Amino acid sequence: MRIVLKPGGYALLLVCLSVLTIMVFRPRVSPGQEAAFWRVDPEGRYVVVSASDYARGELRQDGTAFRGQYMHVTGAYEPMLIAPIPDAAAAEFTVWADLRATDAQLKGQVKGTQREYEWAMERWNLPQRFHWVRMGRHTRAEMGDSLIVIRGGDKSTSKDEGLSAVLLARDDDFNPNAVRI
């Protein structure tokens, strides 16, 4: 079978693939509850969400993970978390991901189009526990409606790799590794 695209066909194909991606990888929560899973720090320093609230792969138990659970996926470039950015997040924020032994990329989703941002190259870092990795300072406008964290494309170096949580800090100097979250 041979498919021939007419002029403008590639654009239509890309739009169709984008819509399909959004439909397949939508968070599994009902409308109106989208930001309900984000926890706001009582001191207003950050908002944090567990990867288990927006389950994208295999949910595993581990005492060193945020809330004792983490997300494990095996596919290259597979989403580990897709979550709406809550109203409680500041207009500008630093993104932190609680990772163990995996490469991960941060993406934003603006009007259905994904934008690629920082990579955290943690696959060779094999700590015994999860640790917070800085994934850059961003604005709500550039990130759009949702943030996405995908697994890297290389072969896994650990059967225990994964993402535990994502944190959005108001202050760029805030480091979740230095406090108890």
Say if 104 falls within a structural domain: yes
Say if 11 falls within a structural domain: no
Distance CA 151, CA 180 (A): 26
Partners of 149 in beta bridges: 81, 106
Q: What is the pLDDT of residue 125?
A: 62
Say if 80 falls within a structural domain: yes
Tally of domains in the chain: 1
Residue listed under structure tokens 């399909």 = 20
The range of the structural domain enclosing residue 167 comes to: 30-176
Distance CA 45, CA 64 (A): 22
Say if 92 falls within a structural domain: yes
Say if 118 falls within a structural domain: yes
Say if 153 falls within a structural domain: yes
Confidence grade of residue 52 (pLDDT, cut at 50, 70, 90): confident
Q: Does residue 140 have a pLDDT over 50?
A: yes
Say if 25 falls within a structural domain: no
Q: What is the residue-averaged pLDDT of the chain?
A: 81
Q: Does residue 82 have a pLDDT over 60?
A: yes
Confidence grade of residue 156 (pLDDT, cut at 50, 70, 90): low
Question: Lowest mean pLDDT: which of 21-25, 103-107, 130-134?
Answer: 21-25
Tens-place pLDDT, residues 160-175: 889 999 999 999 999 9
Q: What is the pLDDT of residue 28?
A: 42
Q: What is the pLDDT of residue 74?
A: 85
Distance CA 149, CA 51 (A): 10
Say if 18 falls within a structural domain: no
Verdict on whether the full-model pTM lies above 0.85: no
Distance CA 173, CA 181 (A): 16
Q: What CATH number does the domain containing 136 carry?
A: 2.60.120.260
